[in-house]
Structure 1
Amino acid sequence: MSDTVLPTPLLEVLPNTFLKCEFLHPGRSHKARVARALIDDAEQHGMIARGGRTALIERTGGNLGIGLAIEAKARGHELVLVTDPGYSKIKKEIAARLGAKVIDRGVTYPGCADNEAAVQLILRSTPGRFHYLNQFGNPANPAAHEQGTGAEILAQLIGRGYGRNTRVTLVSGLGTGATARGVSSALRHWFREVAVIGVEPPDCDLKADRHGSHGLQGFAVGQPAPFFPSGELDQIVPVTDAEVAAAGTRLFQEHRMFVGPTSCANFAVVLKTIPVSAEDVLISFLYDRGEDYE
């Protein structure tokens, strides 16, 4: 399938400090790239066919759910999303309006401990009915960010004149870790030094793989990031709820950008990690739109 309205802008918000504006992607977030890649991979490997009887299933109610709903509707695939009350009601409503069947695990499968358990129960009870896209275990996920998001950022930085000796620091939250893995891999094709800083939500300890309850949907989701173990991070920077709110206010006042909480958390860490010289570049992401949250 051909891409449309790409690449997304790389905005310089401070000297040598850039935010990749993924909330302007036609699929509404960075996860739209993953949605396309996961379905492309399934089609190319003969796991599903357009107009066929095999439906798609994934555990998500957030940005990936919307991206998958867009791709599934455009290609004529049936899609089931397994989610829970912790996800944005607005995002779940958007996915449903786009044709996805959204299942609330807590209502439909109260005996399942988590969304993965619910997906496995569905797969066992209806053998052959679904193809599980499995964002947490599918290598097409980080590949989408290496070949898409990361390749775009690399081209944009080279186009601005940054040479191979530029020291690049990437600020990213970790859910699956696919964004951090894919983008950092792409940047290392050119830049000799690339560091990755992890954003640590309130009440979490990424080094200890402790994921507490917090409001940053998609970060520290209750399990270690499979594609980017926390031990590989060069640094971990915690954020508070107050810092996230202040960063969101600054983004809106200075750039008229209304983005989601995880984007604000990234920017909060960026503000703590200003480049120290002209040879240092800092990159982070504005993932999604503020209006997609309650």
Structure 2
Amino acid sequence: MQIANNILETIGNTPLVKLNKITSAIPATVLAKVETFNPGNSIKDRMALKMIEEAEKSGELKPGGTIIEGTSGNTGMGLAIAAVIKGYKCIFTSTDKQSKEKFDALRALGAEVIVCPTDVDPEDPRSYYSVSSRLAKEVPNAWKPNQYDNLANSQAHYESTGPEIWEQTEGKITHLVVGVGTGGTICGTGKYLKEKNPNIKLIGIDSYGSIFKKYHETGVFDKSEIYPYVTEGIGEDFLPKNVDFSLIDHFEKVTDKDAALYTRKIALDEGIFVGNSAGAAIAGLLQVKDMFKPDDVVVVIFHDHGIRYMGKMFNPAWMQKMGYLPTEGLTAADLIQANLLQKVVTIDSQTSISETSKILIENDFSQIPVSRDERIVGTISEDQLFEIITTTPEKKEEAIEDYILPALPFVDPTASVSDINEMLKENKHGVLVRDFKTQITYIITKHDVIKATA
């Protein structure tokens, strides 16, 4: 009888599927490595199990221990499944930009989930990195896998994903296309493939708002590249040890809108129901289609399942609100072209409350985005400043750092003014719009909408 002794034995050996309609503009053969066939419905099952096994061997993870990790959801799922079989507890920290479905799935497997703000530096004590590190020190018998810097992550793909792709393509693969987050998938798989054939090219898919592409091309860690983005599972605002930039041949940035649209298009064109990073990978692949020749064999990784994005990419109302679907009437882009919007002005988080008040008064601002190291990390309003100055005037020379609200939401330039109006009802301070062509960020307030539509 062909029986797996437990669910962990079913990890790996996922199918390679030829793409047809969605990649018809590409002259090469394009194959998708569909990782939704893993028990946790994502490629992260591979490295989650490997990290646990290595920690068990080293003694870092002891019987009955608690696994504590910062995760966008998929790694947590792999760890939680392994924990069920092996008898561990799990506590996961994640960011508020991740889909609710991911958190619900983790809780269904018995894990505790702590949601942290997205728009803070990794070193900030509120970040999901920092919170997981703190808990790992405080909780008895705890172990933190640290998927970003734990090289067992890359090793898992070197031992499984790479050999599978090589065998499935009979060594004919010429390009590997992967969304880059922790870096484990592209670098572990790519290392194995390049050892087999050094001519194989690795193409990493990055997101606007992430630092990977510029760092790869210039060696400069530019914090001004960092700002909140929607695409899940790819890009970072720091350099994980699993990202070996010397292995990767090219990075391609993809907009949130294109990643979302192609996530939906994969399902409609190919009948493959996959997640946000797969949409980004296909969008990036099509952007570099001129790289490929008819005899090339391109493998693209489809990391996870579409069921985790039902509240986002597969929710028409959410897509409409974000400006990703066709809209009628005025758009944010129209307001930019008509010079009706101001370029965003920020204030450093170390500015005093009194100085911030003066800046708002001099510029007739009702609020202003707050930056730290050139990165937008929050906002502060005249209402907050009024409250502080009138009730606790002794604090007016303190820095605004401890008083800022979450950063204003970003919308795509194609978002309609009517949809922006709805967002302004939810967030009275404003929304931000990023023009990717000029790399300029604009702010839209209720006053701007009134001025544009009067």
How does the TM-score come out when normalised to structure 1? 0.87
**In terms of mean alpha carbon deviation, does 191-200 or 284-293 score higher?**
191-200
Aligned to 1:150: 162
| The 10-residue stretch of structure 1 (279-288 or 138-147) with the greater mean CA deviation from structure 2 | 279-288
**Alpha-carbon distance, 1:242 to partner:** 3.6
For the pair 1:284 / 2:300, whether they are aligned, the reply is yes
Residues 43-68 of structure 1: CA deviation (Å, up to 9, x unaligned)? 12222344x3x211111141001111
Q: Does 1:17 align with 2:30?
A: yes
8 Å CA contact retained: 1:23, 1:287: yes
2:105 counterpart letter in structure 1: I
1:42 aligns with 55
Indicate the structure whose relative CO is greater, using CA pairs within 8 Å and at least 6 residues apart. 1
- Closer, same or farther: CA 43–283 of 1 in aligned 2, 3 Å: same
Query: Helix, strand or coil for the counterpart of 1:72?
Result: helix
* 1:93 correspondence with 2:104: yes
Question: Between Structure 1 and Structure 2, whose CA radius of gyration is higher?
Answer: 2
Tell me whether 1:199 sits opposite 2:215 in the alignment. Answer: no
Identity of aligned residues (%): 28
Change beyond 3 A, Cα 1:102–1:44: same
Is this contact kept in 1: 2:29–2:298, CA < 8 A? Answer: yes
Decide which of 89, 108, 114 is 1:78's aligned counterpart. 89
Distance 1:276 1:103, change over 3 A: closer
Deviation readout 1:201-229 (Å, 9 max, x if unpaired) = 13445314433311221211321232225
**Matched letter for residue 269 of structure 1:** G
Give 1:240's match in structure 2, choosing from 250, 255, 274.
255
Secondary structure (helix, strand or coil) at the match of 1:226 reads coil
Contact 1:270 1:282 in 2 (8 A): no
Rate the CA distance shift 1:175–1:16 in 2: closer, same or farther, 3 A: same
Displacement, 1:120?
Answer: 2.6
The answer as to 2:149 corresponding to 1:137 is yes
Aligned mate of 2:192, from 171, 182, 186: 186
CA contact (8 A) 1:174 1:225 kept: no
Structure 1 spans left out of the alignment, 5+ residues: none
Q: What value does the CA root-mean-square deviation take over the aligned residues?
A: 2.3
What is the alpha-carbon distance in structure 1 between the residues aligned to residue 69 and residue 11 of structure 2? 26
Query: Among 261, 266, 271, which residue is 1:256 paired with?
Result: 271
Shift of 1:243: 2.5
Which residue is 1:114 aligned to?
Answer: 127
Name the SS for the 1:284 alignment partner: strand
How far apart are 1:276 and its partner, in Å? 3.4
Q: Specify whether residues 123 and 146 from structure 1 end up closer, same or farther in structure 2 by C-alpha distance, changes over 3 A only.
A: same
- Structure 1's consecutive aligned runs of 4 or more residues displaced over 6 angstroms after TM superposition are none
Between stretches 231-240 and 87-96, larger displacement belongs to: 231-240
Number of equivalent positions: 281
Tell me, in whole angstroms, the C-alpha distance in 1 between the residues paired with 2:46 and 2:257. Answer: 31
- Indicate how the Cα distance of structure 1 residues 203 and 95 shifts in structure 2: closer, same or farther if over 3 A, else same: same
> Which residue identity does 1:101 align to in structure 2?
E
Contact 2:61–2:142 (8 Å) recurs in 1? no
